Amino acid sequence: MPETIDILNALTLMTNFVFVPALAYGSQLALGALGVTLVFGILRFANFAHGDLMAFGTTMTILLTWALQAQGITFGVLPTALLALVPAIIVTAVAAILIDKSVFSFYRKRKAAPVVLVIASVGVMFMLSAIVRFIMGTEDRRFTDGERFVVRALDFKKWSGLDEGLAIQTTQAITVVVTLVVVTALFIFLNRTRTGKAMRAYSDNEDLALLSGINPDRIVMITWIIAAVLATIAGTLYGLDKSFKPFTYLQLLLPIFASAIVGGIGQPIGAVVGGYIIAFSEVMLTYAYKKFGTYLLPDDLAPSGLVQFLGTDYKFAISFIILVVVLLIRPTGIFKGKVL
């Protein structure tokens, strides 16, 4: 039987390397997947440009962060990017509405097949990714400032007397808090307000919604605004947490789609749950459990290898293995979404 101290050490280890990073990553995926799922629910197509919309929103945040920093304005211990988020969201929302008016509304008005809209979104993806690269170039950029840690590993060790440290970065804490706020606000909006209810009605049955006098143009515009808000916040949080690089946002599209589908596409709650499922699976399957095992198992049983299920290089592959399994077993996702 392992001693209490070993159990505590093992738990701290897991919290530090698995729970905290997965929670932050899952929150980012959840926000991204919410955007994809809303666009799917209302506009009925899988928006391939969502990853690049996130990159665009982040680009705006970075530009405004720089502008604020140049003015000498910072946000104290918090990253300045949080201040820049609000105007960046407005710019991104305007961009999203412009894209809809110039590209998607044409096909929507003619009741084109969803797949035509998907291909159009590929075109938008190309152009948005070019615009992002025009502005930011292709290199890695870090734009976080303020206090780096909420909890430092050394302080934690001293405080608890354990061998394992626990570090929580400010960006990770912010990610979780912001996600909580945004998701709660979104659910209140969708369930309590008139507009939110109208959106859900429109998503459930377009004809009946139109019949009861819901204005489709308004619904579509609000959907794009919400999608832009979610994309900008998700992109900025991801950029703060890791770093900003245009190409990673295209790669992020895959786990985001996976989250939306695993949760049940068109279902907001599904997107959130899906985001965390994907994130936790990615982190847990690529984590090496050697040290964890050493704490918990008796010495003669201690693992000799890394005890890692898959190399970290296969991180992105995991989301798709989960996706394929879900498609085979329960194509509607966990919370019965629409079958695509």
Partner 1 sequence: MTDTSLNTGPEKTEAEKTSAPMPTAIVQKRQSPWRAPLVFLAMAVAIAAVGFGQSWSVALAIVNMSLVSALMAMGLNLQWGYAGLFNAGVMAFTALGGLAAVVVSHPPVWEALNAGGRGLTLSAVIVVAIIATTAFVAANLKGKLRSFTIFVIVVAGYIILRPVFGEAVSAVEAVDPARTGFIGGLGLPIMASWIVGGIFAAAVAWLIGKVALGLRSDYLAIATLGISEIVIAVLKNEDWLARGVKNVTGLKRPVPYEIDLQQTPWFIDLVSRFHADTLATAADAAARESMLRQLLIEASSAFVKIAYAGLFTVVLLIILALCVRALNSPWGRMMRAIRDNEEAAAAMGKDIKARHLQIFVLGSAIIGIAGAMMTTLDGQFTPGTYNPLRFTFLVWVMVIVGGSGNNLGAVIGGFLIWFIWVEAEPAGRFIVEMLSANMDPETPLYRHLQDIAAPFRLFVMGLVLLIVMRFSPRGILPEKVRHS
Which one of 119, 177, 181, 188 is in contact with partner 1 (CB under 8 A)?
Answer: 119
Report the Cα–Cα distance between both ends of the chain, in Å, rounded.
50
CA atoms within 13 A on the CB side of 5: 6
Burial class of residue 301, CB neighbours in 10 A (0-12, 13-18, 19+): exposed
Instruction: Give me the residues paired with residue 169 across strands.
Output: 149
Q: Measured between alpha carbons, how far is residue 142 from residues 96, 136, 151, 243 in Å?
A: 25, 12, 21, 5
Which one of 187, 189, 247, 280 is in contact with partner 1 (CB under 8 A)?
Answer: 247
Which CB atom, from 90 or from 254, has the smaller least distance to partner 1? 254
Q: Measured between alpha carbons, how far is residue 151 from residues 120, 154, 167, 224, 246 in Å?
A: 46, 9, 5, 37, 30
Instruction: Give me the residues paired with residue 149 across strands.
Output: 169
Site track for partner 1 across 130-149, x = CB under 8 A: xx-xx--xx-----------
For residue 79, what are the contacts with CB-CB under 8 A and spacing of at least 6? 65, 143, 144, 145, 146, 170, 171, 174, 240
Instruction: Please give the residues from 9 up to 28 whose contact with partner 1 meets the rule CB under 8 A.
Output: none
129 binds partner 1 (CB under 8 A): yes
Interface segment toward partner 1; rule CB under 8 A; list 16-24, 212-220, 295-303, 310-318: 310-318
Nearest approach in angstroms of CB 42 to partner 1 is 15
313 binds partner 1 (CB under 8 A): yes
Which one of 5, 73, 77, 113 is in contact with partner 1 (CB under 8 A)?
Answer: 113
Instruction: Please give the residues from 38 up to 97 whose contact with partner 1 meets the rule CB under 8 A.
Output: 45-46, 48
Nearest approach in angstroms of CB 68 to partner 1 is 18
Interface segment toward partner 1; rule CB under 8 A; list 12-20, 22-30, 208-216, 313-321: 313-321
For residue 251, give the H/E element and its range: helix 246-263
Which CB atom, from 173 or from 340, has the smaller least distance to partner 1? 340
Which CB atom, from 150 or from 250, has the smaller least distance to partner 1? 250
316 binds partner 1 (CB under 8 A): yes
Nearest approach in angstroms of CB 261 to partner 1 is 7
Dump the DSSP string for 137-197.
-SS-B----S--EEE-HHHHHHHH--SS---EEHHHHHHHHHHHHHHHHHHHHHHHSHHHH
Q: Which tokens sit at 234?
A: 């998700």
340 binds partner 1 (CB under 8 A): yes
Helix axes 194-204, 216-241, angle to 10 degrees: 100
Site track for partner 1 across 256-295, x = CB under 8 A: -xx--x----------------------------------
CA distance 238 to 246: 12
Nearest approach in angstroms of CB 214 to partner 1 is 18
Q: Which residues bind partner 1 (CB under 8 A)?
A: 45-46, 48, 103, 106-107, 110-116, 118-120, 122-131, 133-134, 137-138, 247, 250-251, 254, 257-258, 261, 305, 311, 313-314, 316-317, 319-321, 323-324, 327-328, 331, 339-340
